[in-house]
């Protein structure tokens, strides 16, 4: 699958360079509100809740214009996707608080169909392929020895994801070759971001009563326990990666040989 993604991106770039339409290369950066949505988190009431989390992404863009209104926009991005949680191991009246932080890093490859009007305003939509290359989890709980910082649990997270992306914004013409791009973009991973394990003997850091497990062996993350245990039963639920934010970038027009000759 990774080879297919790489071949697809290279094909878009090669086609743009060789084809007769306008081809642009550029840089892009984004700042996103990020979530790892899971039904078990939403069902825990005061025991567990999402905390607002933000992550940035940056990389390169490659745009090939099909007509004055339509283009294909491919990006190669390094994305930080974070999710923080507030946990309560006590009661609502007597809370016993802890904090969980997940920091995931992906290679994101969106390939978007872009529709633009005469004013430069655009709408974009298309698929995105994502490859996980780093995971870190930090758990802070003062009343337990279970706390840890930047621990890796890569087998708890899936290495590949298929997403849908939608966005809008404006391309601002700065001069004959350089455009400024600014807009908003939202994404949703349709595939599960975490892994389900079939072995009933798997050990998790939280038990089905949502309390820390004594003598935990460190084999799984707190995140994996959140996915499995809900209301005193084992009930695995998939996790969807979701993000939305602003993006800004610059693109540079690559001249064809004919254009370069005519401009001399």
Q: The domain that contains 88 carries what CATH number?
A: 2.40.160.20
**Which residue do the tokens 């389900």 mark?**
196
Show Cβ contacts of residue 168 under 8 Å, excluding neighbours closer than 6 positions. 121, 122, 123, 124, 183, 184
Say if residue 115's pLDDT is above 90: yes
What is d(CA 13, CA 64) in angstroms, rounded to the nearest whole number?
A: 8
Secondary structure E strands in 66-159 = 70-88, 97-116, 121-140, 148-151
Model pLDDT, residue 140: 94
Residues 36, 39, 42, 48: what is their CA dihedral angle, to the nearest 10 degrees? Answer: -70
Domain-embedded: residue 246:
yes
Residue 126 within any structural domain of the chain: yes
In a domain, 69, yes or no: yes
Q: How many domains does the chain have?
A: 1
Give the pLDDT band (50/70/90) at residue 179: very high
Q: What is the CA radius of gyration of the chain?
A: 22
Tokens of 238: 């998939």
236 near 196, Cβ under 8 Å?
Answer: yes
User: 188-214 burial by CB neighbour count: b if 16+ within 10 A, else e?
Assistant: bbeebbbbebeeeeeebbbebebebee
| Sign of the torsion formed by the C-alpha atoms of 41, 42, 48 and 54 | positive
**Residue 230 counted as domain residue:** no
Instruction: Tell me the three state secondary structure of residue 248.
Output: strand
Which of 6-15, 37-46, 130-139, 201-210 shows the lowest mean pLDDT across its residues? 6-15
CB 165 within 8 A of CB 187: yes
- Residue where the block lists tokens 């992550």: 55
Judge whether 81 lies within some domain.
yes
Q: State residue 202's pLDDT score.
A: 78
| Residue 192 domain flag | yes
Assigned domain for 125 exists: yes
> Which domain does 66 fall in, by range?
2-200+241-259
Sign of the alpha-carbon torsion through 102, 97, 44, 216: positive
Q: Across 80-84, 116-120, 152-156, which has the greatest mean pLDDT?
A: 80-84
Per-residue pLDDT, 152: 93
pLDDT above 60 (res 79): yes
Q: Does the pTM of the predicted model rise above 0.85?
A: yes
Average confidence score pLDDT of the chain: 87
């Amino acid at each position: 699958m990774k080879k297919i993604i790489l071949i697809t991106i290279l094909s878009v770039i090669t086609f743009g360079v060789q084809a007769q339409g306008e081809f642009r290369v550029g840089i892009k950066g984004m700042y996103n509100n990020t979530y790892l949505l899971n039904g078990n988190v939403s069902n825990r009431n005061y025991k567990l809740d999402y905390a607002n989390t933000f992550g940035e992404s940056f990389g390169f863009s490659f745009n090939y214009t099909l007509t004055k209104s339509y283009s294909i926009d491919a990006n190669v991005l390094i994305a930080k996707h974070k999710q923080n949680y507030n946990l309560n191991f006590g009661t609502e009246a007597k809370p016993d608080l802890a904090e969980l932080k997940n920091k995931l890093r992906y290679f994101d490859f969106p390939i978007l169909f872009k529709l633009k009007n005469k004013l430069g305003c655009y709408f974009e939509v298309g698929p995105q392929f994502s490859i996980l290359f780093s995971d870190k989890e930090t758990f802070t709980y003062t009343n337990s020895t279970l706390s840890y910082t930047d621990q890796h649990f890569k087998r708890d997270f899936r290495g590949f994801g298929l997403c849908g992306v939608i966005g809008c914004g404006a391309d601002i013409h700065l001069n004959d070759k350089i455009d400024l791009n600014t807009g908003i973009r939202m994404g949703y991973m349709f595939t599960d971001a975490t892994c389900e394990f079939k072995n009933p003997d798997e050990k998790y850091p939280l038990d089905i009563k949502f309390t820390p497990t004594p003598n935990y062996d460190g084999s799984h993350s707190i995140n994996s326990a959140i996915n499995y245990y809900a209301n005193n039963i084992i009930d695995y639920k998939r996790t969807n990666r979701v993000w939305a934010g602003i993006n800004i970038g610059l693109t540079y027009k690559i001249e064809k040989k004919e254009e370069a000759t005519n401009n001399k």
